[in-house]
Amino acid sequence: MLALYLAQIVNSGLALGAVYGLMALGFSLIYCASRLINFAQGELLLLGGLGIATLAGVMRLSPLVAVAAAALAGFLLGRALFATTLGLTLRASPLRQLMLTVAASLVFQGVAILAWGKNPLMPPRLLPLPDLRLGPLFFGRDTVTALALAFCAMAVLGVFLKYSRLGRALRATSQNAVAARLMGIDPVLCHALSFALAGALASLAALAVGPQTGLRYDMGLGLGLKGFAAATIGGYTSLPRVFLGGLALGLCEAALVLFLSGELKETATYALIIVLLVAAPAESEAERP
Amino acid sequence: MASFSLSRKASLALFFAAMTAVGLVTPAHRLIGVNQHMFLAANVLALNFCLGLGGQISLAQAAFAGMGAYASVLLHARFPGATLVIVPTVVLGVGLLAALVSRPMERLGEGFLAMATLCVSLVCVNVALTLEGVTGGAAGLMVERRLALPGVGELGGDRLTFFLFLLLLALGSYIFLALRDSRLGRALAACRDDRHAASSLGIDRPAVRAVSFGLGGGLSAAAGVVHGHYTGFISPEQFSLELSLKALLFLVIGGPGNLLRPILAALVLETAMGWLQFLGEARTLVNGLLLGAALLAGYWRVRR
């Protein structure tokens, strides 16, 4: 019985955890490149997912095309978000930039309400992956989809950041924007790129989370927060660690939901974030925004 | 310098005179909507203590307001007529709690503090939702008792509540200005402008900032008390994250550290958004555009 419970926790925890991990990766990308906390991250997921769901309703999408379309849509959305927030206020105080992303999240939500209404939308499963059974563990279709998407996205992102010229420029900007600029890197381009990549990741996360919970106009903030929490657990700087932070948060939540009610689970999660933030090591104090 | 401070006083006097006129002239049923904006304005002022003076962002303002409202309503249900004791106790208690909460969070940077206080807000909402036996959960709580003063009677009604809010704003403004020009205020300004320099000058940063955070929490709680007893019904939804975010937005639009501008921004923009009710579903979008435009306008004005 206990083994069944545990398998259930692992299954649902990994399904959500992979989504949190993807969100956390996007969060960390933007945060590292421009020291900005992006409140509109969840809305990127929302709009990307809704767009793909509509596209899938119009035409038949093969799995590869669906993934490519989602990534492209998210990429463009993220770029648009940059152009309307940070791109306009590069020299503003961080607080104003932060609040602009809040306003942008409202605008995105408004677009979602106008175009898709307030009822939750159940997008179709675009990736036909089978259920998987590994010994005592059982992975549902949604879990397999989420994990596959997340690992592929992370691998592509890792290769891009590590080996491509543009990826190296992005990493250089994250480490030291002034020095990167002296080397001839355009920091604004890198900021824009980080937003666009975050959008693509969020859109891919939508492919995973859509069939699990449906897409609703007000789901963005919660998911964005979980992504932030996961990024904080993972420490922002390393791709695998940030992603593992997402998985850990998902598993933790799935375990809590079995023992506590839904609201208590949320309370515990948010209290955990506070504790993590307060107890995080102090030596990085100077680098925090 | 003297003329500047005179004009500041003059604009303050003008503002409160105009608000008094609004309170006297507007028909009572119109004041229902205005009182909502006044509640928000009080929260903007409360946030100004944390952010404008101490340079600390806080998204927990709604939580403090909610704590004030729930505590006061629950206590009034048990001890009716003890307003004179309950309200100061609640305001003081929430203020102290806010100060305590802020202490360990002091060293967090802007964005991280925003997230931490946001989580405080969410924790409070979820706790209120969970404790159905006490708070009524998501269904909310009917408020049966009004605020009452011995010799004056019940404090209720639209017009009286408007003036209560105005009194709160005036009191808050007075404390704000007095604090800003005091030694403590200068210490806070030092923390805001360069926290490492402030520390090395011997300022006990967590303690100093806890004072501003506590004052902000207390003012929010007071606003929550008035609001809770006025509406006759309280639910976690009224004190959700939206309120905190709105307060922060208007404060940033008006410029943290300014006294009147954020309050005016809150009142004017909220009224404008109130007129947009007819837009129906498009309201969220237009609100977002309006707030974004206000933020950008402020930025471009400062740059020029």
Which residues in chain B are contacts of A103 at CB distance < 8 A? 249, 288-289, 291-292, 295
pLDDT of residue B211: 92
Q: Which residues contact A117 (CB under 8 A, 6 or more apart)?
A: A217, B281
Q: How confident is the model at residue A281 (pLDDT cuts 50, 70, 90)?
A: low
Do the beta carbons of residue B114 and residue B244 sit within 8 Å? Answer: no
- Which is nearest to A145 in space by CA: A277, A16, A46, A6? A16
* Of residues A95, A114, A228, nearest to B282 (C-beta): A114
What is the per-residue pLDDT across B255-288, written as a single tens digit (0 to 9) for each?
888 888 899 989 988 888 888 777 777 888 888 8
Give the residue from chain B lying closest to A218, CA to CA. B284
A107 contacts B285? CB cut-off 8 A: yes
Highest mean pLDDT among A102-106, B7-11, B103-107: A102-106
Q: Residues of chain B whose C-beta is under 8 A from some C-beta in A?
A: 51, 57, 104-105, 107-112, 114-116, 118-120, 122-123, 126-127, 129-130, 241, 245, 248-249, 252, 256, 281-289, 291-292, 295-296, 298-299, 303
Instruction: Answer yes or no: is pLDDT of A73 > 50.
Output: yes
How far is residue A95's CA from residue A289's CA, in Å, rounded to a whole number?
10
How far is the alpha carbon of B45 from chain A, nearest alpha carbon, in Å? 17
* Of residues B104, B110, B249, nearest to A94 (C-beta): B110
How far is residue A139's CA from residue B230's CA, in Å, rounded to a whole number?
53
Instruction: Answer yes or no: is pLDDT of B252 > 60.
Output: yes
- B152 or A197, higher pLDDT: A197
- Domain range spanning residue B230? 2-23+30-240
Do the beta carbons of residue B67 and residue B205 sit within 8 Å? Answer: no
pLDDT of residue A283: 42
- Which is nearest to B216 in space by CA: B172, B262, B157? B172
Q: List B142's β-bridge partners, or say none.
A: B233
Mutate to test the interface with B, among A277, A283, A284, A285 (most CBs of B within 10 A): A277
B299 contacts A107? CB cut-off 8 A: no
B282 contacts A107? CB cut-off 8 A: no
Do the beta carbons of residue A37 and residue B114 sit within 8 Å? Answer: yes
What is the per-residue pLDDT across A42-62, written as a single tens digit (0 to 9) for each?
999 999 999 998 998 888 888
What is the per-residue pLDDT across B158-196, written as a single tens digit (0 to 9) for each?
888 888 899 999 999 999 999 988 999 999 999 888 888
Mutate to test the interface with B, among A106, A260, A288 (most CBs of B within 10 A): A106
Strands, E, within chain A: which ranges? 132-134, 137-139
Which residues in chain A are contacts of B109 at CB distance < 8 A? 285, 288-289
Say if B259 falls within a structural domain: no
* Of residues B114, B126, B288, nearest to A107 (C-beta): B288
Q: List B234's β-bridge partners, or say none.
A: B141
Give the residue from chain B lying closest to A88, CA to CA. B296
Give the residue from chain A lying closest to B128, CA to CA. A263
Which residues in chain A are contacts of B44 at CB distance < 8 A? none
Euclidean distance between the first and the last CA atom of chain B, given in angstroms as a whole number: 23
* Of residues A111, A282, A289, nearest to B110 (C-beta): A289
- Cα B303 to Cα A89, A93, B296, B300, distances in angstroms: 10, 11, 11, 5
How far is the alpha carbon of A38 from chain B, nearest alpha carbon, in Å? 10
Which residues in chain A are contacts of B115 at CB distance < 8 A? 37, 225, 228, 232, 273, 277
A107 contacts B289? CB cut-off 8 A: yes
- Sorted by where each starts, the structural domains of chain A and their CATH numbers stand as 2-287 (1.10.3470)
Burial of B133 (C-beta count, 10 Å sphere; 0-12/13-18/19+): exposed
How far is the alpha carbon of B191 from chain A, nearest alpha carbon, in Å? 14
Q: Which residues contact B144 (CB under 8 A, 6 or more apart)?
A: B77
B299 contacts A225? CB cut-off 8 A: no
How far is residue B192's CA from residue B33's CA, in Å, rounded to a whole number?
35
* Rounded percentage of chain A residues whose pLDDT exceeds 70: 96
Q: How confident is the model at residue B222 (pLDDT cuts 50, 70, 90)?
A: very high
Query: Could you count the other beta carbons within 10 Å of the beta carbon of residue B100?
Result: 13
A270 contacts B126? CB cut-off 8 A: yes
pLDDT of residue B90: 92
* Of residues A225, A267, A288, nearest to B127 (C-beta): A267
Say if B133 falls within a structural domain: yes
Burial of A60 (C-beta count, 10 Å sphere; 0-12/13-18/19+): exposed
Q: Tally the domains of chain B.
A: 1
ipTM above 0.90, yes or no: no
Give the residue from chain A lying closest to B129, CA to CA. A263
Q: Which residue has the tokens 């799995």?
A: A63
Which residues in chain B are contacts of A232 at CB distance < 8 A? 112, 115
Say if B170 falls within a structural domain: yes
In the predicted model, what is the mean pLDDT of chain A?
Answer: 86
pLDDT of residue A259: 76
Instruction: Answer yes or no: is pLDDT of A23 > 70.
Output: yes
Say if B69 falls within a structural domain: yes
